Structure 1
């Protein structure tokens, strides 16, 4: 099918990006409102986190099966159903009077919104001609990359100035506008895969996918809080996830009409691109979590000040993403990707040299360098990964691509929080070894503080707290270095990706 006319192309883009941005914002917009929700609904601290977990779990389950659902229902019908369910569930979340009902409506909201990311990406890739796919992915990246950054900022502003219920109500009018635009401007292409009459539903694949991904997402979200495999619940969920996902791969490769078509990984660019995407978002999301924690926990920044550090980087990405998209039309996208991965790694090396005395400008500079790297990472990678996928397979490919992107972020967040806690313990152990009556620097410091405070115990306590702060600081440095290594390794690995020639043929056995 020929690409859409210029005017129609941008109306289609707006139609799919409004609901997609809303859905991505909702993965993080409630993070800063948990305290308000907890007080309003009289919930416990551990219980209220299910407001976040429930949405992520239902989202993770739906994303990979969205291509199948589009084939069963028709993509336009599925897209409109997703927007409708997401919008209605958002309204019900605002109306919830108890934690249980709020979690239930968040599950429904996640089920409705899960298909929006892959469907939007597939529609954009088909709407723009092959040479402009980089520009299409730049537009998609504005939602995929900026959403997690803007979510906490917007959520904090709305919660502080109005009420937490408005972080959900804000979706309703925008969702209605998106629904009307999808109904008007989105149409199913003639080449789209459709369900064949009499085709059996892959119920086994559906069950394995739902249980496996659901359990995995709970493990990643709750693991650190439950001390990982010290918790019987985490062990059981991990075993269930491993068994179900392993069985899913075996089962789906033997089905004629699977829920998810894993044969598409025979395309080298798609397979390699997904590896780079998984580990790239692993390192990227980990660093998104890391820097605000560093500023708030170690340097005493408020949430607002930490948000100010992130804000300029969002503006830089907004400016750079379309520019990078246009560059893919003129420059080998692999060079752009290598540059983006290298700069992303260098930004983390820069952050690893932070001290506890840095000013806010230094923190902003670290994030700004990273923003440049991520802009040159996401767009070329999406373009390269999808270069050899034919249009009729785009729904399935986009679903898998978005699943691995989201899982990379979840694994990265779990990795960062876990390694940070473990390394802080190691460094604290080594530092405390020197806080003895036989250590001359410790004795001198305690005597100097005792002279000022007049209390030896208070002086010793102050030294111990300082040692804890230093241990935490060194742990952050360790994790910054680890995340940088991921990016540098990917900058080497990515060269197995082929330069696109806009081919559209799949290997034998793919169909």
Structure 2
């Protein structure tokens, strides 16, 4: 057993390699976050290869999201029980091996089981990475640390569909999982080499909060399934969704009650007493709600209405990722120089709201530049959103609470994205039906504009497709155009709602109180 001063010396020595540590923790985190979206475009290939139905194949996504969501908030507790380095090594090993097994899965059942294991292994990587980064950098450099973390978290889900589509088209869906192997092996080597346990984590004894863990598992598991399956099951018109929603609500309410009264909670919710951290988690939830809501809409618009391939739709998202990649380090430097996070965060929210408002003006004749430019503005805004928000939220959190706080923060970020996707797809569907009903009212022989359009369609059919007789052929083409126009108006409405929601987050800025220990505060011994 090493002496405490020896452990302290080893830990402080490891902190001197902060950029090596940053690379070490960001490599597996980037791959893990990307895995939440990289498989989406491969689902049709998986469905055909494993002879599965559409609903069955979507469990490849849902199983990963559920297990991932359950692990994230208890990461701090697991790290304190088993040791942060040991738990990080375990997570990387499980994630890497399960990726291998996913690629080699002979059936859908085996693939889903392996995806559950992959989510359990990968869930801890996000909060562990954030906690280690914040601990390895001084409080004055927390902005730079969050810039490094944010580049991976924001870029990964954007590049995921592009990379997944390219790999699936050129190789096989199995290689979507196999590409994790070299990254996982390299990450394991770097963790062993550079990561050291903080001495205080080794003093925590194992105490199982059985009820808290059970309620958290049931609550988040049911909630994630509801969000993932709700639109497909027609929400509360489905008995399945109603039962899961009730189970999720009851479990999460009881979980909060149990954790606030437990002597050794699996998730210490008392950290939310810090106003800045509590406000930061709320802003993060709604910020990613709006971000992922718009990100899921844009490829749908491009592929369904504009005829883009999956690869080209992914390329439209690219400028936003590059904008975030370049602005985040700049934001980190500005924070280090003393610029207040609230100012940068406000600018980021305005830019993000502006970009989504620009998307609400899309039409059926938009070119590549027209749709790519708002994504660039959005990426710029998200770079000014994520980094200062994380820096402001964590500024009063002690090192001992960093792992627990990071788990809560990342859980709210992920849940915000899930809620945003569910909200956007639901609003899109409902508004599309509404506009379709409204536009159909004008399809009548007594409408001069319709009659003129119908005559033009029939003339075009006679010249180009004489086998498609009028009036049947003309009515079919007219109905298709009504559907396209209704969908376009629905996209406009949904983007506009997200823009308003993003801008309204400015009202929460006063809740981010001034730090009790400003940037540049020298961290002492706790």
2:42 is equivalent to residue 27 of structure 1: no
Counterpart-to-counterpart distance in 2, 1:302 and 1:158: 14
Counterpart-to-counterpart distance in 2, 1:191 and 1:73: 12
- What secondary structure does 2:208 align onto? coil
User: Following TM superposition, by how much is the alpha carbon of 1:167 offset from its aligned partner in structure 2, in angstroms?
Assistant: 1.1
Q: Is the 8 A contact 2:74 2:407 kept in 1?
A: yes
Counterpart-to-counterpart distance in 2, 1:448 and 1:133: 63
Which consecutive unaligned segments of at least 5 residues does structure 1 have? 505-510
Counterpart-to-counterpart distance in 2, 1:470 and 1:159: 32
Partner of 1:387: 395
Q: How does 1:51-70 map to 2 (within 5 A)?
A: 51-70=60-79
Counterpart-to-counterpart distance in 1, 2:518 and 2:240: 47
The one of 400, 403, 406 equivalent to 1:398 is 406
Q: Is the 8 A contact 2:30 2:153 kept in 1?
A: yes
Partner of 1:507: none
2:25 is equivalent to residue 16 of structure 1: yes
2:192 is equivalent to residue 188 of structure 1: no
Q: Is the 8 A contact 1:119 1:395 kept in 2?
A: yes
The one of 271, 275, 289 equivalent to 2:278 is 271
Normalised by the length of structure 2, the TM-score is: 0.93
Q: How does 1:263-302 map to 2 (within 5 A)?
A: 263-302=270-309
- What secondary structure does 1:27 align onto? helix
Q: Is the 8 A contact 1:141 1:378 kept in 2?
A: yes
User: Following TM superposition, by how much is the alpha carbon of 1:312 offset from its aligned partner in structure 2, in angstroms?
Assistant: 2.2
Which consecutive unaligned segments of at least 5 residues does structure 2 have? 1-7, 463-469, 520-525
Q: Is the 8 A contact 2:96 2:180 kept in 1?
A: yes
Partner of 1:230: 237
User: Following TM superposition, by how much is the alpha carbon of 1:193 offset from its aligned partner in structure 2, in angstroms?
Assistant: 6.6
Counterpart-to-counterpart distance in 2, 1:359 and 1:282: 27
2:89 is equivalent to residue 74 of structure 1: no
Q: Is the 8 A contact 2:14 2:195 kept in 1?
A: no
User: Following TM superposition, by how much is the alpha carbon of 1:487 offset from its aligned partner in structure 2, in angstroms?
Assistant: 1.2
Q: Is the 8 A contact 2:15 2:137 kept in 1?
A: no
Counterpart-to-counterpart distance in 1, 2:456 and 2:189: 71
Q: Is the 8 A contact 1:74 1:194 kept in 2?
A: no
2:211 is equivalent to residue 204 of structure 1: yes
Q: 1:488 to 1:73 in 2, by over 3 A?
A: same
Q: What do residues 91-118 of structure 1 show as CA deviations (whole Å, max 9, x unaligned)?
A: 1111100000000000000001100000
Counterpart-to-counterpart distance in 2, 1:193 and 1:388: 23
Counterpart-to-counterpart distance in 2, 1:5 and 1:105: 34
User: Following TM superposition, by how much is the alpha carbon of 1:358 offset from its aligned partner in structure 2, in angstroms?
Assistant: 1.1
Partner of 1:466: 481
Partner of 2:449: 441
Partner of 2:467: none
- What secondary structure does 2:36 align onto? coil
Counterpart-to-counterpart distance in 1, 2:457 and 2:219: 56
Partner of 1:432: 440
- What secondary structure does 2:63 align onto? helix
The one of 343, 358, 362 equivalent to 1:354 is 362
Counterpart-to-counterpart distance in 2, 1:451 and 1:403: 57
User: Following TM superposition, by how much is the alpha carbon of 1:5 offset from its aligned partner in structure 2, in angstroms?
Assistant: 7.0
- What secondary structure does 1:358 align onto? coil
Q: 1:302 to 1:245 in 2, by over 3 A?
A: same
Partner of 1:508: none
- What secondary structure does 2:37 align onto? coil
Q: Is the 8 A contact 1:427 1:475 kept in 2?
A: yes
2:225 is equivalent to residue 218 of structure 1: yes
Counterpart-to-counterpart distance in 2, 1:172 and 1:108: 15
User: Following TM superposition, by how much is the alpha carbon of 1:7 offset from its aligned partner in structure 2, in angstroms?
Assistant: 5.6
Q: What do residues 466-501 of structure 1 show as CA deviations (whole Å, max 9, x unaligned)?
A: 111111111101011110011111122222202335
Partner of 1:107: 116
The one of 34, 44, 61 equivalent to 2:53 is 44
Question: Which stretch of structure 1 is more off in the superposition, 390-399 or 164-173?
Answer: 164-173
Normalised by the length of structure 1, the TM-score is: 0.96
Counterpart-to-counterpart distance in 1, 2:458 and 2:27: 61
Q: 1:194 to 1:494 in 2, by over 3 A?
A: farther
User: Following TM superposition, by how much is the alpha carbon of 1:71 offset from its aligned partner in structure 2, in angstroms?
Assistant: 1.1
* Aligned-residue RMSD, C-alpha: 1.6
Deviating 4+ runs (over 4 angstroms): 1-7
Q: 1:431 to 1:177 in 2, by over 3 A?
A: same
- What secondary structure does 2:189 align onto? helix
Counterpart-to-counterpart distance in 2, 1:40 and 1:457: 39
- What secondary structure does 1:438 align onto? coil
Counterpart-to-counterpart distance in 2, 1:320 and 1:273: 20
The one of 304, 327, 341 equivalent to 2:311 is 304
Partner of 2:344: 336
Q: Is the 8 A contact 1:3 1:129 kept in 2?
A: no
2:266 is equivalent to residue 251 of structure 1: no
Q: What do residues 250-290 of structure 1 show as CA deviations (whole Å, max 9, x unaligned)?
A: 11100010010011110000000011000000000011111
Q: Is the 8 A contact 2:81 2:201 kept in 1?
A: no
2:188 is equivalent to residue 179 of structure 1: yes
Partner of 1:166: 175
Q: Is the 8 A contact 1:313 1:367 kept in 2?
A: yes
Partner of 2:103: 94
2:148 is equivalent to residue 139 of structure 1: yes
Q: 1:447 to 1:387 in 2, by over 3 A?
A: same
User: Following TM superposition, by how much is the alpha carbon of 1:3 offset from its aligned partner in structure 2, in angstroms?
Assistant: 6.5
The one of 318, 322, 327 equivalent to 2:329 is 322
Partner of 1:475: 490
Counterpart-to-counterpart distance in 2, 1:31 and 1:74: 34
